[in-house]
């Protein structure tokens, strides 16, 4: 059976799923604007191509990354940080598209976080086998703003744990168009993505694209 047939199956999941206090999964929330998001993504990647960055320990990440917005998240042997310029070109990161910004603000408000104004959007590209180990988002100056995460393309298993790395994470299947918002008591939970299972998405092929919106400064 082709991915087109899978994509045509009606989505019977609940519109909103509460994951924890301050954490919400909005099923299919981004699907109405998927076309605008994909067009804008291609324009961003033309200016700032995906690249696989290295951790401070020298490990090359399995996930390819780029950024848009006033600030971009980067990692290298100097550490994890935000920077206004793309280290590969020395130029500012592409501006955050209006469609990205509107979606992030509206999703945050739907989840109960009003007045969210992101200044950074990390864009991750997962190909089959790529994963993201459990981690906390701690490089921002203010933890008062939520995180907004948008999934496009192949489905993935999102691991959502607790405030200690040792806590066993719950597993949530994220489909194309799903949006996860977490903040408040859940702002610093450990989270990650299980290795991506191979497949073919009708719009994005053999990959998953993830936008992570944050207020970095």
- The overall average pLDDT reported for the chain is 94
Nearest to 105 by CA among 17, 188, 33: 33
pLDDT single digits (tens) 156-173: 999 999 999 999 999 999
1 — pLDDT class (breaks 50, 70, 90): very low
Mean pLDDT score, 136-145: 96
14 — pLDDT class (breaks 50, 70, 90): confident
Number of structural domains found in the chain: 1
Q: Rounded to an integer, what distance in angstroms lies between the CA atom of residue 182 and that of residue 190?
A: 11
Q: Rounded to an integer, what distance in angstroms lies between the CA atom of residue 45 and that of residue 81?
A: 21
Residue 10 pLDDT? 62
Q: For the chain, what is the largest distance between any 2 Cα atoms, rounded to a whole number of angstroms?
A: 47
At residue 3, does pLDDT exceed 80?
A: no
Contact 171, 7 (CB under 8 A): no
- Domain of 171, CATH number, reads 2.60.120.590
Domain that holds residue 131: 3-7+14-214
Residue 55 pLDDT? 93
Tokens at residue 130, please?
Answer: 């790529």
4 — pLDDT class (breaks 50, 70, 90): very low
């Amino acid at each position: 059976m082709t991915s087109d047939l899978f994509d045509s199956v009606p989505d019977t999941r609940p519109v909103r799923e509460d994951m924890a206090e301050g954490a919400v999964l909005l099923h299919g929330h981004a699907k109405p604007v998927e076309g605008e998001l994909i067009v804008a993504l291609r324009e961003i990647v033309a200016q700032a191509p995906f690249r696989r960055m290295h951790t401070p320990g020298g490990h090359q990440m399995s996930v390819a990354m780029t950024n848009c917005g006033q600030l971009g998240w980067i990692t290298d042997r100097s550490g994890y940080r935000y920077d206004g310029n793309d280290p590969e070109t020395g130029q500012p990161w592409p501006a955050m598209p209006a469609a990205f910004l509107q979606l992030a603000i509206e999703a945050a408000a739907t989840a109960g976080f009003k007045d969210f104004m992101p200044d950074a959007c990390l864009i991750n590209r997962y190909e089959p086998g790529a994963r993201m180990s459990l981690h906390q988002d701690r490089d921002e100056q203010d933890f008062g703003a939520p995180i907004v995460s948008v999934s496009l393309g192949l489905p993935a298993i999102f691991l959502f744990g607790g405030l200690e790395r040792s806590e066993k994470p719950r597993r949530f299947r994220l489909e194309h168009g799903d949006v996860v918002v977490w903040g408040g008591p859940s702002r610093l939970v450990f989270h990650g993505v299980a290795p991506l299972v191979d497949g073919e998405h009708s719009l994005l092929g053999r990959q998953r694209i993830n936008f992570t919106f944050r207020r970095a400064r």
